[in-house]
């Protein structure tokens, strides 16, 4: 093993002092709670997108007790647009556990933090490192890329064997001191220098002994995830309007896609939608809606929207306990699914 490896952390820390990001909102007063919220938001989401969401979230939920006591609609409303809503639901559940089991004090051991919903080993290590300076390795997407290139790790990083190697590399390089700075620096380098395509190798502090750079093909490391053709799913949604210009929204189950968000009644077939519409006393409107298309990690989805006009009293359609009539001219106080947001914008054009 190369004798230059122990100096990696020194070079990374020296780079951070000059070029690292030090003015991010969660770096100011970096308590475990504030860092935790940022780390969850940053999962699969870029920093520039997260910042305004983080600031609004902290204004409404400045501490873990406030978050724990909030209604789930409030939490999901603040998350609306960030996607991957399981993150928000787990954040809310974890806050309630901290309130009930830890007297509102964020736990400070890796094992206790990792046991909370939605927090894995890397996120737990990042929270405790960035907020308390504890010595823990992390392995988010950016750090995986830096280490995979530095060591010229063959293959996709997601295989069990490569995951094991990457954790060994991460543990090898973590310094004894300045852990918060080192953790932030590794994430910053992956985000700004060691990018997925067109890495800026010559300005990287590790370029002299980066094994991937020595091959002349640093962009080939790590290997991409093997391609997999995703299945396609089609649904029909009922956009029901009443005489007062309101639309019917249903709250989705707490699990699955858009869990806990408000959306439209949905059906597997057009025939099922029409049968339901007849039952509740609604008929097709003349408004034509474009299809809503969305790709999830495990399938592609197309939704065909049918606008329906209610011909009976609105109370007849309220058999579902989690249904509301919403005046689209007002700000909805719950979290809306992507499909709901898309269709509401179209309704403003078709039915102002």
Catalytic residues: 39
Residue 82: Cβ within 10 Å count: 19
Give backbone dihedrals phi and psi of 178, rounded to 5 degrees, phi first.
Answer: 55, 45
Nearest in space to 289 (alpha carbons), one of 264, 313, 253: 264
The CA distance from 265 to 267, in Å, is 7
The Cα-based distances of 211 to 121, 123, 188, 206 in angstroms read 27, 27, 20, 10
The CA distance from 56 to 62, in Å, is 10
Which residues lie across from 293 on neighbouring strands? Answer: 302
Exposed / middle / buried, residue 184 (Cβ in 10 Å: 0-12, 13-18, 19+) = buried
Give backbone dihedrals phi and psi of 306, rounded to 5 degrees, phi first.
Answer: -115, 120
The CA distance from 268 to 304, in Å, is 10
Contact 166, 153 (CB under 8 A): yes
Which residues have C-beta within 8 Å of that of residue 210, sequence separation ≥ 6? 149, 150, 201, 204, 218
Give backbone dihedrals phi and psi of 320, rounded to 5 degrees, phi first.
Answer: -80, 135
The CA distance from 158 to 276, in Å, is 44
């Amino acid at each position: 093993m190369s004798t230059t490896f122990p100096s990696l952390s020194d070079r990374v820390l020296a780079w951070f002092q000059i070029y690292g990001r030090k003015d991010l909102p969660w770096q100011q007063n970096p308590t475990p709670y504030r860092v935790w919220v940022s780390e969850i938001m940053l999962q699969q989401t870029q920093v520039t997108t997260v910042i305004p969401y983080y600031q609004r979230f902290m204004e409404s939920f400045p501490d873990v007790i406030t978050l724990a006591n909030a209604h789930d609609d409030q939490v999901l409303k603040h998350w609306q647009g960030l996607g991957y809503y399981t993150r928000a639901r787990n954040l809310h559940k974890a806050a309630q556990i901290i309130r009930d089991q830890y007297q509102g004090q964020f736990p400070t051991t890796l094992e206790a933090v990792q046991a909370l919903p939605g927090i894995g080993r890397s996120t737990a290590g990042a929270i405790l490192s960035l907020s308390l300076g504890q010595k823990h390795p992390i392995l988010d997407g950016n750090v995986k890329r830096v280490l995979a290139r530095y060591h010229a790790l063959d293959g996709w990083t997601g295989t069990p064997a490569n995951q094991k190697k990457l954790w060994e590399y991460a543990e090898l390089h973590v310094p004894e001191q300045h852990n918060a700075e080192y953790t932030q620096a590794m994430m910053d380098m992956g985000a700004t220098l060691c990018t997925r395509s067109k890495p800026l190798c010559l300005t990287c502090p590790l370029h002299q002994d980066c094994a991937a750079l020595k091959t002349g093909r640093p962009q080939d490391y790590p290997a991409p995830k093997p391609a997999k053709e995703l299945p396609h799913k089609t649904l029909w949604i009922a956009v029901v309007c009443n005489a007062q210009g309101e639309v019917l929204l249903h709250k989705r189950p707490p699990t699955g896609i858009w869990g806990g968000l408000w959306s439209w009644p949905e059906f597997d077939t057009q025939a099922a939608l029409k049968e339901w519409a007849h039952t509740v006393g609604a008929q097709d409107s003349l408004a034509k809606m474009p299809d809503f298309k969305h790709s999830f990690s495990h399938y592609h989805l197309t939704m065909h929207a049918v606008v329906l006009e209610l011909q009976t009293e609105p109370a007849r359609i309220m058999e579902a306990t989690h249904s509301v009539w919403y005046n689209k001219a007002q700000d909805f106080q719950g979290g809306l699914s992507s499909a709901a947001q898309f269709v509401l914008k179209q309704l403003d054009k078709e039915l102002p």
